[in-house]
């Protein structure tokens, strides 16, 4: 009975089992990796992504490419989520993650064809992963000098934007990370506390960091001063408006004066709020909602400059830098809710008035992105996001490993030796894992127009012959020569590389575990991967 129900359920599906399922899944992964592999490294090429409506985007960023691609295959989507998780956790290394996952899968397919069971491969891969991570930590070292730190961030940006701009963006990101360095909070702090403001016009190298809040707004009353020095600030998470009649509220108009009374009472309330703020010595008032016309002169008379209609995130940044608490009701504001601002200034940029408010506290800031077109600004913002994400994490963990494929060559050598200590079939899987790691230097070589086989052999030999620091010899993709990576400043942060290795292994294993793929029938979106697979097997 149970079996029969099972069969009925299966009837509505196309089914791929066992090796056929694996072949199909590996193909999808390899196809996706093929789409981003050529962007890897400083000599990687750009991709132009064209949307259905003809709009286009040119990028060198692996994660942008695959997140934008409309991918149907479930395995490919698994890879995309591995790359997104890399992006979220480490902000870099997304292309490497996809490329390495596909290579791990491809090597496992060869092992399956030789008769090694997927569960043996999984065991071998897990052993190799654990060994790789601990070897990574052993090889890594702390970045000491600010120049080295700068090299790390610049390596992240290599190939994405011009080197002059990369250097400028790196400076901004490092300064921003330093400002946030003593804050408590998770990894998303770096997104929440840095306001990204786009201003059209200017060169992208005119992008700047502002140690405060910058916002495209002007003061409510132009009669109040355009700028001011230090003063007291209050932030209201609401409005300074007349009490309004709710839609359903009714006032019984029994005599002609009732409505007028209501209006007068609400004006009196406004005056009370303004008097209260004035008695506290408030100079600058920031309001999330509106400031009613009646309140404007009251505030100005008391020497209070006000701004209205701020978004919540802007209020939070202001609260951070001034120490003011965000309070709903103006009448409830007390002395300890107030903050201090050190400077306020309005200036016209590209024809739009912008206000900058600075405070004595650290912990939040604004980065202004300039550039003549939205395309340019977006690419710069994406580059900044990477640089900022990496800088912020580097301030917390500054360990680095050599880039330019050096660390993967070293790990491959190390893991091959480690394989020998594992008798049994796992040994084959561990060797397959070691070989997969070499895909990174291979791809870097290909993208630099070099022969990938020669480069990998050459680097391995060079590393093996230098007993002391061999593991730091890698490929300088810009010159095509093999060099010690610490000499030319090509470092990858340890957390990027180790997260990428773990993420790739995890993704590959989750795909290896799939033994059965059931495609719902009659679904027009089901892609035709199955036919290809029939020819292969
Ligand atoms: P990902 O999305 O994986 O970060 P990238 O396109 O940023 O992909 O490439 C990162 C790889 O490029 C890293 O392995 C890094 O070590 C390497 N790399 C960066 N600059 C150089 C260089 N000048 N020479 C060789 N390799 C480099
Ligand atoms: Mg990168």
pLDDT of residue 4: 56
Mean pLDDT to the nearest integer, 240-251: 66
The per-residue pLDDT for 537 is 44
Å from CA of 297 to ligand 2 middle: 54
Higher pLDDT among residues 508 and 533, named by residue? 508
Q: Which atom of ligand 1 is nearest to the CA of 62?
A: 2
What average pLDDT does the chain have? 87
For residues 282 and 324, give the distance between their C-alpha atoms in angstroms, rounded to a whole number: 11
* Residues 345-363: tens digit of each pLDDT: 999 988 899 999 999 998 8
Contact indicator for 435, 501 with CB cutoff of 8 Å: no
Report the distance separating Cα 453 and Cα 440, nearest Å.
12
Q: Is residue 492 within 6 Å of ligand 1 at its C-beta?
A: yes
Q: Which residues have CB atoms below 5 A from the ion given as ligand 2?
A: 92
**Which pair of structure tokens corresponds to residue 116?**
């090694």
More reliable by pLDDT, 180 or 58? 180
Please check whether residue 279 is in contact with residue 303, taking contact to mean a CB–CB distance below 8 angstroms. no
For 188-244, what is each residue's pLDDT tens digit? Answer: 888 889 999 999 888 999 999 999 999 999 999 999 999 999 999 999 999 888 766
Residue with CA closest to ligand 1 atom 26: 404
DSSP state of 220: S
Q: What is the pLDDT of residues 69-99, one digit of tens each?
A: 666 677 888 888 899 999 889 988 999 999 9
Taking the C-alpha atoms of 21, 37, 459 and 163 in order, what is their torsion angle to the nearest 10 degrees?
-160
Q: Is 41 in contact with 475 (CB distance < 8 Å)?
A: no
Query: In 405-493, which ranges are continuous DSSP H helix?
Result: 406-420, 426-437, 439-447, 452-465, 485-488
Smallest-distance ligand from the CA of 62: 1
**DSSP symbol at 222:** T
CATH number of 146-211+368-397: 3.30.260.10
- Residues with active-site annotation: 61, 94-95, 386
DSSP H or E segment with residue 64: helix 62-68
Name the pTM for this structure. 0.81
Report whether 233 contacts 314 (CB < 8 A): no
Under the banding of pLDDT at 50, 70 and 90, the label for residue 536 is: very low
- Please, where in the chain does CATH 3.30.260.10 lie? 146-211+368-397
Residues sharing a CB contact under 8 Å with residue 134, sequence separation 6 or more, in sequence order: none
Provide the percentage of residues in the chain whose pLDDT is more than 90.
60
Q: To test ligand 1's pocket by mutation, which of 36, 39, 42 has the most ligand atoms within 8 angstroms of CB?
A: 42
pLDDT of residue 1: 46
Phi and psi (nearest 5°) for 17? -120, 155
Distance of CA 420 to the CA centre of its chain: 39
The bound ligand whose nearest atom lies closest to the alpha carbon of 61 is 1
Would you state the pLDDT for residue 511? 92
Neighbours of 323 (CB within 10 A): 18
The number of residues making up the chain comes to 537
pLDDT the model gives residue 157: 85
CATH number of 213-361: 3.50.7.10
Residue 39: Cβ-neighbour burial (10 angstroms; 0-12, 13-18, 19+): buried
Q: Would you identify the CATH topology of the domain 5-142+401-520?
A: GROEL; domain 1 (1.10.560)
In the chain, ranges of CATH 1.10.560.10 domains: 5-142+401-520
């Amino acid at each position: 009975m149970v079996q029969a129900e099972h069969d009925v359920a299966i009837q509505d599906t196309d089914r791929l089992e066992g090796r056929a399922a694996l072949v199909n899944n590996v193909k999808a992964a390899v196809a996706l990796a093929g789409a981003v592999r050529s962007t890897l490294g400083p000599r990687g090429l750009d991709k132009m992504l064209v949307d259905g409506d003809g709009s286009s985007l040119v990028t060198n960023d692996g994660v942008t490419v695959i997140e934008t691609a409309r991918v149907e295959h479930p395995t490919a989507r698994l890879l995309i989520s591995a790359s997104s998780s890399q992006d979220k956790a480490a902000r870099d290394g997304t292309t490497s993650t996809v490329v390495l996952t596909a290579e791990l899968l491809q090597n496992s397919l060869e092992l399956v064809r030789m008769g090694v069971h997927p569960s043996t491969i999984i065991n071998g891969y897990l052993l190799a992963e654990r060994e790789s991570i601990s070897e990574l930590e052993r090889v890594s070292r702390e970045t000491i000098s600010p120049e080295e730190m700068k090299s790390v961030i610049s390596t992240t940006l290599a190939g994405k934007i011009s080197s002059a701009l990369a250097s400028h963006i790196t400076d901004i990101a490092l300064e921003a990370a330093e400002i946030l360095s003593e804050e408590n909070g998770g990894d998303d702090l770096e997104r929440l506390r840095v306001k990204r403001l786009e201003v059209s016009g200017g060169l992208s190298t005119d992008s700047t960091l502002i140690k405060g809040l910058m916002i495209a707004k002007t003061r409510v009353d132009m009669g109040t001063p355009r700028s001011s020095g230090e003063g007291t600030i209050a932030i209201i998470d609401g409005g300074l408006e007349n009490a309004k009649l709710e839609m359903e509220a009714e006032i019984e108009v029994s005599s002609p004066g009732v409505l007028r009374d209501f209006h007068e009472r609400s004006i009196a309330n406004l005056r009370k709020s303004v008097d209260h703020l004035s008695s506290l010595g408030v100079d600058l008032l920031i309001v999330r909602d509106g400031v009613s016309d009646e309140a404007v002169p009251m505030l100005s008379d008391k020497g209070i400059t006000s701004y209205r209609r701020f978004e919540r995130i802007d209020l939070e940044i202001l609260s951070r830098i001034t120490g003011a608490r965000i309070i709903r009701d103006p009448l409830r504001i007390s002395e300890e809710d107030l903050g201090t601002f050190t400077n306020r200034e309005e200036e016209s940029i590209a024809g739009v008035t912008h206000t900058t408010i600075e405070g004595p506290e650290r912990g939040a800031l604004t980065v202004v992105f300039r550039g003549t077109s939205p395309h340019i600004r977006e690419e710069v913002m994406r580059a900044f996001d990477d640089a900022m994400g990496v800088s912020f994490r580097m301030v917390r963990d500054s360990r680095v490993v050599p880039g330019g494929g050096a660390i993967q060559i070293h790990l491959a050598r190390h893991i091959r030796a480690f394989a020998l200590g594992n008798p049994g079939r796992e040994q084959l899987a561990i060797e397959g894992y070691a070989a997969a790691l070499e895909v990174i230097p291979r791809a870097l070589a290909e993208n630099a127009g070099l022969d990938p086989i020669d480069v990998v052999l050459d680097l391995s030999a060079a590393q093996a012959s230098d007993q002391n620091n061999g593991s730091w010899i890698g490929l300088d993709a810009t010159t095509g020569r093999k060099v010690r990576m610490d000499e030319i400043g090509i470092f990858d942060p340890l957390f990027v590389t180790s997260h990428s290795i773990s993420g790739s292994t995890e993704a590959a294993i989750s795909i290896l575990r799939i033994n059965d793929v059931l495609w719902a029938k009659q679904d027009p979106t089901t892609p035709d991967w199955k036919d290809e697979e029939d020819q292969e097997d």
